[in-house]
């Protein structure tokens, strides 16, 4: 549970707050003056501080100013006072206080403020510049920007094909030196989901696939989502299934999950990132598998980028690992990649183009390129046109002009 430090010189108020907060499930520490508050903060940083303004040794505004002078506040601070002024409230806010409560403090506003303050801890986290492992292409940069803008107090839902990299997105939201929990079994959701919140307190809880949850597990996830703010946990869920149309899936749970929903693009939709991602995967094979340093030639990574990779990052990673283990040279060339992919080389030789006049060289290049493109897409003109960013009718005209034929004639225009 969350730990709250109550700083107030009045014993009666300390006792009342102590009982209220403990009844709500929080751990409570008490301090009756600024000196005790400083000592408590040095011993252990709480999740939240309730700080009185008027105290005998040093007032709460002065103490808050001292804490703020030491750097960013380590915990959200809620000020309390029965004789506050607008000037004091503004000063506390300027110094970084989360909110200002007037005494006598009403029960409901107190609990609502505490809930918002605990949730704010995630909001102040500084996220990295990029989603490590997915690249720096336009789609991934846009995804990172949208994830940064997501409400800190809302669960995150990631929709993606298998292997598209949802864990990389979840780790992007994880702040260093805070808990990271990614359970592989969903069984505890039906038994005691609060245990996961306790383990992930002030960190990230990532549920990699929630599409197959039983009715009881769905109820457990709903309870977990309802209690997450108390523990300062950012919950990130992912699925490759369409939960909106999935039979037996709770509509209430689906609505709660998808208030902050994001689509993680498959690898084929950000193919410009494949060279960077593949090289990084190859570099990771050195310490993992004890192989010598490896790198891909430019032609090899171009061939990797042209492949569809239906299994996304998982398939690419397995492919790169197999190449690293089987190829005993420092630079992996196009031929080794082509052989393992089972892709035949295009007709003609690229070096021969330099012996031709420009017009003939361009025509030869188009023939080689389109032949390889059709072979890559099993003769599908539609897929080849999409890959090449061409209109399908234009591609048909170009194929006829070059004397090439498609393997899937049923796709011809009518």
> Which residue, of 76, 93, 123, is where some domain finishes?
123
Q: Residue 131 domain-assigned?
A: no
Mean of pLDDT values over 2-15? 93
The model's pLDDT over 14-68, given as tens digits with 9 standing for 90+, comes to: 999 999 999 998 999 999 999 999 999 988 889 999 999 988 888 899 999 999 8
Specify if 291 maps to a domain: yes
Please give the tally of structural domains in the chain: 4
Place of tokens 């301090």: 31
Instruction: Out of 320, 341, 362, pick the residue that ends a domain.
Output: 341
**One domain, residues 119 and 25:** yes
For residues 119 and 358, give the distance between their C-alpha atoms in angstroms, rounded to a whole number. 64
**261 and 285 both lie in a single domain:** no
CATH code of 400's domain? 1.10.10.60
Residue 309's domain is classified under what CATH number? 1.10.8.60
User: Which of 237-246, 292-301, 397-406 is predicted least confidently?
Assistant: 397-406
Query: With contact defined as beta carbons under 8 Å apart, do 241 and 163 qualify?
Result: no
Q: What pLDDT shows up at residue 121?
A: 67
Q: Kindly state whether residue 271 falls inside one of the protein's structural domains.
A: no
The reply to whether 287 falls in a domain is yes
Residue 202 lies in a domain: yes
From 178, 181, 154, select the one nearest 167 (Cα to Cα). 181
Q: For the chain, percent helix, then strand, then coil, each to nearest 5?
A: 50, 10, 35
Tens of pLDDT, residue by residue over 66-102, are 998 887 677 899 999 877 667 777 788 778 888 888 8
In this predicted structure, the answer to whether residue 125 has a pLDDT above a threshold of 70 is no
User: Do residues 290 and 366 share a domain?
Assistant: no
pLDDT above 50 (res 323) = yes
Range of the domain at 70: 3-123
Residues 75, 107 within the same domain: yes
Q: Omega into 104 within 30° of 0, i.e. cis?
A: yes
Query: Which backbone phi and psi does 101 adopt, to 5 degrees?
Result: -110, 135
Angle of helix 298-306 versus helix 274-289 axis, rounded to 10: 110
Please give the structure tokens belonging to residue 408.
């899937």
345: pLDDT strictly greater than 70: no
């Amino acid at each position: 549970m969350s730990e709250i430090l109550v700083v107030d010189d009045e014993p009666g108020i300390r006792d009342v707050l102590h009982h209220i907060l403990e009844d709500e499930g929080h751990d409570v520490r008490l301090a009756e003056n600024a000196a005790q508050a400083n000592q408590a903060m040095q011993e252990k940083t709480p999740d939240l501080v309730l700080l009185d303004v008027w105290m005998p040794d040093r007032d709460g505004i002065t103490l808050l100013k001292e804490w703020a002078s030491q750097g960013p506040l380590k915990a959200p601070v809620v000020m309390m006072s029965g004789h506050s002024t607008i000037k004091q409230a503004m000063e506390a806010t300027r110094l970084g206080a989360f909110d200002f409560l007037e005494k006598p403090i009403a029960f409901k506003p107190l609990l609502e403020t505490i809930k918002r303050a605990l949730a704010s801890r995630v909001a102040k986290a500084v996220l990295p510049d990029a989603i490590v492992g997915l690249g720096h292409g336009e789609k991934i940069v846009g995804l990172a920007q949208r994830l940064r803008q997501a409400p800190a107090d809302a669960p995150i839902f990631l929709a993606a094909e298998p292997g598209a990299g949802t864990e990389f997105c979840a780790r992007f939201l994880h702040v260093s030196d805070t808990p990271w929990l990614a359970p592989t079994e969903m069984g505890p959701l039906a038994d005691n989901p609060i245990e996961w919140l306790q383990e992930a307190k002030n960190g990230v809880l990532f549920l990699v696939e929630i599409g197959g949850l039983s009715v009881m597990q769905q109820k457990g996830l709903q309870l977990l989502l309802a209690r997450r703010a108390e523990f300062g946990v950012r919950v990130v869920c992912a699925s490759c299934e369409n939960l909106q149309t999935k039979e037996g899936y709770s509509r209430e749970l689906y609505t709660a999950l998808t208030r902050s929903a994001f689509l993680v693009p498959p690898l084929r939709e950000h193919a410009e990132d494949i060279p960077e991602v593949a090289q990084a995967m190859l570099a990771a094979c050195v310490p993992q598998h004890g192989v010598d340093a490896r790198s891909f030639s430019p032609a090899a990574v171009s061939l990797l980028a042209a492949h569809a990779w239906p299994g996304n990052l998982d398939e690419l990673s397995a492919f790169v690992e197999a190449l690293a283990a089987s190829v005993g040279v420092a630079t992996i060339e196009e031929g080794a990649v082509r052989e393992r992919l089972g892709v035949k080389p295009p007709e003609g030789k690229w070096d021969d183009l330099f012996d031709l006049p420009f017009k003939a060289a361009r025509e030869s290049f188009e023939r080689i390129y389109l032949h390889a493109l059709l072979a890559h897409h099993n003769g599908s003109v539609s897929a080849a046109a999409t890959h090449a960013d061409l209109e399908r009718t234009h591609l048909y005209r170009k194929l006829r002009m070059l004397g090439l034929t498609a393997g899937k004639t049923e796709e011809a225009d009518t």
